[in-house]
Amino acid sequence: MKRFLDERRVLRGEYPLKERLDALAGAFLLAFLLFVPVFGALGELVVVLMHRRVGIFLGITAAACLATALTVRLYFQSLGLKKPSHQADFKLLFWGVSGIAASAVLVLGVAFTFILLPILWV
């Protein structure tokens, strides 16, 4: 964890906030455009197969975890293209950030599936 935080400090010192936000906006936009058909298809499956909604919502949660990992990957790839001679270890940062983000998405998705979804379908 200490190494991860040290690498974050290196990243924050190397890239100004404007460049990091620019890379994040571009990564989010591209990942969103790539995953819109996936979420649309899974949404249609929910409408058609309501009796299997728990499994489909868990599939949507897995797709959201993949979309999060793709966003983080595109973010670091964009930063790497902005400054090819970077000092930060993007591989370590990618695994750390995508693990934290995917864990948060997984917890929210499972909580929605097993707590909020039964309340909404009553």
pLDDT tens sequence across 31-48: 999 999 998 888 888 888
DSSP conformation letters of 20-68: HHHHHHHHHHHHHHHHHHHHHHHHHHHHH-GGGHHHHHHHHHHHHHHHH
Pull the structure tokens for residue 94. 């990618």
pLDDT at 64: 92
| Identity of the highest mean pLDDT range in 5-14, 50-59, 113-122 | 5-14
Residues, the chain, total?
122
Q: What are 59-117's pLDDT values in tens digits?
A: 889 999 999 999 999 999 999 998 888 888 899 999 999 999 999 999 999 998 888 88
Cβ contact 57:109 at 8 Å? yes
What span, in angstroms and rounded, lies between the C-alpha atoms of 107 and 104? 5
Q: Give the per-residue pLDDT at 42.
A: 86
Cβ-in-10-Å burial (0-12, 13-18, 19+) of 63 comes to middle
